[in-house]
Amino acid sequence: MSKLKVTTISDPDNDNTALTIDTSGNVSVSQGFVPPTQLSHRNLIINGAMQVAQRGTSFTGLTNGSSEYTLDRFKFIESGNQTSVFTVSQDTNTPDYFGNSLKLTCTTSGSGHNVIEITQSIEAQNLQSLAFGTSNAKSFTLSFWVKCSQSGTGNVSFYNLDALRQRAENYTINVADTWEYKTITVSGDTSGAFNNDNGTGLGVYFPIAASTSYSSGSTGSWGSYSDGKRGAGMTIDLTTSTSDYLQITGVQLEVGSVATPFEHRSYGEELVRCQRYYQEIEASGRQSSCIGYRKNANHIYPTSGQNYHLPVTMRSAPTFLNTGMPVTFTSLLNDNWVSTNYANLGSYTSGHYFGTNSKGAWYDSTVPGDSPFPADTPINITFGEDFKLDAEL
Amino acid sequence: MNKMNEMNIESAVYTVDIITSENTSITATIDGITMSVPLDPANRHYAEILRQVEAGTLTIEDAE
């Protein structure tokens, strides 16, 4: 070990000052600075600090058949016939420098699962900087904070859904009930490219339990998919006791072989990123304006509708998740307010429909025969719920 | 096939525009939730519907 004490570093040819170091050790850069990786927008994971929870902050009763998104961009996945039950929640117990974590708690112990995971999928076009599928494929590094009720070996698996290539890695939980920082560096895959599109590129999976056949695979290299890699090498099993839990936060996946400090983003920035995949549009209780009528060659229909321009363009045309909502039509007829209630719009396959594209959502109604309103009557529409739009991967 | 993201699709029915008679979307019940699925191949629900139709395990019914 040796120490170099200097106050100035200059280039050898022209003696241009490149760096100066003051008496406190502060470094000033005087010339151009060329980092090996980008200085901002490094984190390919969205909502890695678990700030955004548009769907809610607690998801209970997660068991067989209940794979679903929880905190934004993070999905609970189960495979098999598990009898264990879990809750996923946004928690305020965190390591320093974070405000939230994702907590997965076992509320009923059980068995029967193949694998139980928390996952995030990354859009393929956001992964082009990795140059996978070329001779210049780059390594990436996953870093995260984890706290678990059990010590032992954990697993993270990566699945390239464009090339159907998969890799598993292990990490160690040294001490139970303690926040620990983990980093995993993964070499680039020269064989499996990511499509340059808006589909799923890479899935990142954090299993919390895996059966024998789902934990017997290999780790440390890219290869074809196998069930055994999904929990390869892991020893923790959070289905055994109602005191079992796992918490994660500060999840970052970045190009390069070094884990840099977590790239904190404001809540507003993170929300916008999340809204590309899921949005809720305020509509409940609002009376929309209405709209006259439409006609074709043979009929005139009383028609109403409402258009919503989305604040963030979504990844694809989104699914309208809650078409089963109630809606009330109201109009003033002969100085009397007249209403018609539709208890479940999802039960109609014509006359009412919810339309979407990546930039907007609309409800359209054309209801001959079941409306009391004449063709040219203005109608107010009152929605029973906010619109829930899903363009997740 | 995405072996990590399967859905339980209980029913799928086309929704039609009553004026044009064109299919506008699919009303589907997936994992117990009734939803309106756009006819966009990039949409994960529509992609899974198409996959299950191709596999012969699902039929999209015409609107009544």
Using pLDDT thresholds of 50, 70 and 90, give the confidence band for residue B4: low
Question: Is residue A371 within 8 angstroms of chain B, CB to CB?
Answer: no
Q: pLDDT (tens digit, 9 = 90+) per residue, A33-82?
A: 888 888 899 999 999 999 999 999 999 999 998 889 999 999 999 999 99
Residue B61 has pLDDT above 70, yes or no: yes
Residue A206 has pLDDT above 70, yes or no: yes
Q: Give the Cα separation of A57 and A92 in Å (integer).
A: 11
**Per-residue three-class SS string for chain A:** CCCCCCCEEECCCCCCEEEEECCCCCEEECCCCCCCCCCCCCCCCCCCCCCCCCCCCEEEEECCCCCEECCCCCEEEEEECCCCEEEEEEECCCCCCCCCEEEEEEEECCCCEEEEEEEEEEEHHHHHHHCCCCCCCCCEEEEEEEEECCCEEEEEEEEECCCCEEEEEEEEECCCCCCEEEEEEECCCCCCCCCCCCCEEEEEEEEEEECHHHCCCCCCCCEECCHHHCCCCCCCCCCCCCCCEEEEEEEEEEECCCCCCCCCCCHHHHHHHHHCCEEEECCECCEECCCCEEECCCCEEEEEEEEEECCCCCCCCCEECCCCCCEEEEEEECCEEEEEEECCHHHCCECEEEEEECCEEEEEEECCCCCCCCCCCCCEEEECCCEEEECCC
Give the pLDDT confidence score for residue A298 in this predicted structure: 43
- Judged by CB atoms closer than 8 Å, whether chains meet at B2 and A119 is answered as no
Query: Which pairs count as long-range contacts for A99-102, CB under 8 Å and 24+ apart, including other chains?
Result: A99/A49, A99/A51, A100/A49, A100/A50, A100/A51, A100/A249, A101/A50, A101/A145, A101/A147, A101/A247, A101/A248, A101/A249, A102/A50, A102/A70, A102/A71, A102/A74, A102/A247, A102/A248, A102/A249
Closest Cα in chain A, distance from residue B35 (Å): 5
Closest Cα in chain B, distance from residue A19 (Å): 50
Give the pLDDT confidence score for residue A299 in this predicted structure: 45
Using pLDDT thresholds of 50, 70 and 90, give the confidence band for residue A296: very low
Closest Cα in chain A, distance from residue B20 (Å): 8
In this complex, which of A230, A301, A323 lies closest to B18 when CB atoms are compared? A301
Q: pLDDT (tens digit, 9 = 90+) per residue, A231-261?
A: 999 999 999 999 999 999 999 999 999 999 9
Q: pLDDT (tens digit, 9 = 90+) per residue, B19-59?
A: 778 898 999 999 888 899 999 999 999 999 999 999 999 99
A391 to chain B: closest CA residue: B43
Classify B2 as helix, strand or coil. Answer: coil
In this complex, which of B19, B31, B43 lies closest to A316 when CB atoms are compared? B43
In this complex, which of A205, A301, A319 lies closest to B43 when CB atoms are compared? A319
**Predicted TM-score (pTM) of this structure:** 0.92
Q: What percent of chain A has pLDDT over 70?
A: 91
Of chain A residues 54-113, which have a CB less than 8 A from chain B? 65-68, 77, 79
Closest Cα in chain A, distance from residue B56 (Å): 21
Residues of B at the A interface, defined by Cβ within 8 angstroms: 2-5, 8, 13-19, 24-25, 27, 31, 33-40, 42-46, 63-64
